[in-house]
Amino acid sequence: MHALSIPTWIIHISSVIEWIAAIWLIWIYSEVSQNRAWRALSFAMLPALVSAMCACTWHYFDNSLALEWLVTLQAAMTLAGNFTLCAAGWWIWRSARSTLEN
């Protein structure tokens, strides 16, 4: 756990907590607005959350070479998350556009 300073740990952990809160709030918004596209966004955020958790786990164990596979998993989840977030954004845009046209 010596790989990062205390302030850096605070940033890492608070970022993960904020991301979880954002997923939850977006889910609530999808229920209130009755717009399933927003629910898709909350699911689309999960790969990025996994990516962040991989980074925190790897740093927690002092960047152990035995856990270097977490770096690869983090990169893969970041890539997947970028695609899922793009798709969710497109779905929200399409949903808003169809609402305006009706």
The SS3 of residue 70 is helix
pLDDT at 41 over 80: yes
pLDDT at 1 over 90: no
- Domains of the chain, residue spans: 6-101
Indicate the pLDDT class of residue 101, thresholds 50, 70 and 90: confident
- What pLDDT, on a 0 to 100 scale, did the predictor assign at position 50? 98
